Amino acid sequence: MTNQRKGRDFIARHGETVFNIARRMQGDHPHTPLTRAGFAQADQMGAALRAILGPKPKLTLWSSSAGRALQTLAIICEHLELDWHQARRDDRLVEIGMGEWSGRYYADLMDEAPGFLDLEHGLYTRPPPGGEWYDGIAARVSSWLADTDDDAGDRLVIMHGMSSRILRGVMTGLPVLPQFGAPVAPDLPQGSVVLIEQGVETVAHLGTGRGAAPA
């Protein structure tokens, strides 16, 4: 499915968090605060979006319900002179559910479950026990797209590394990768923003954070 919504979509990956820097599994964990570097990345995103959109743009705001996404959004909105409290929150935009691996350190899992990480793609090779797989992410973000297709004009969506890659893959009509069961867009560093318009993606701002996992 290539998204043909009228208007532009700015899809942003949140800034670096304390779990990221500690190399801990974050997934759909609700509240992992930004680091100072994460704040700086959000500032850079806000400045880049202001240069594109100007102050007080007419923009529908959407965010994952996770605290790190909302914290990133709040900083961006300072630059845009918008009220981040007006953002619509949706659990369908959260990161991959990590199940029993939630909060675990990557180093420990590398000993316990060798080969669980596909280093080429920056994705997992198997579903976490009790967790989510990429086809499930594709289903929920596709549901969100269908329910919000009537959004007017431009919108900003703040979400996560893996889930945003699946959303971008769905929106740009990429083929399903059999080993992941979903379309997967290229990895971008934390603090990046892409612009998708009529199914075509361009990088609006390339972040300075880490790429791929840890999620």
Query: What are the pLDDT digits (tens) for 97-152?
Result: 999 999 999 999 988 989 998 988 999 999 999 999 999 999 999 999 999 998 98
DSSP single-letter state for residue 61: E
Query: Distance (Å, rounded) from C-alpha 65 to C-alpha 144?
Result: 13
Query: Distance (Å, rounded) from C-alpha 161 to C-alpha 189?
Result: 8
Contacts of 143 (CB under 8 A, 6+ apart): 92
Q: Provide the mean pLDDT of the chain.
A: 93
Count, in order, helices (H) and strands (E) of the chain.
6, 10
**The pLDDT of residue 3:** 54
Q: Which amino acid is at 29?
A: H
Res. 66 pLDDT band, cuts 50 70 90: very high
User: Taking the chain, what is the end-to-end CA distance rounded to the nearest angstrom?
Assistant: 25
From its phi and psi, is residue 187 left (phi > 0), alpha (psi between -120 and 50) or beta?
beta
Omega of the bond prior to 214 within 30 degrees of 0, cis?
yes
Neighbours of 119 (CB within 10 A): 10
* In contact, 6 and 19? CB cutoff 8 Å: no
**The pLDDT of residue 214:** 54
pTM here? Answer: 0.95
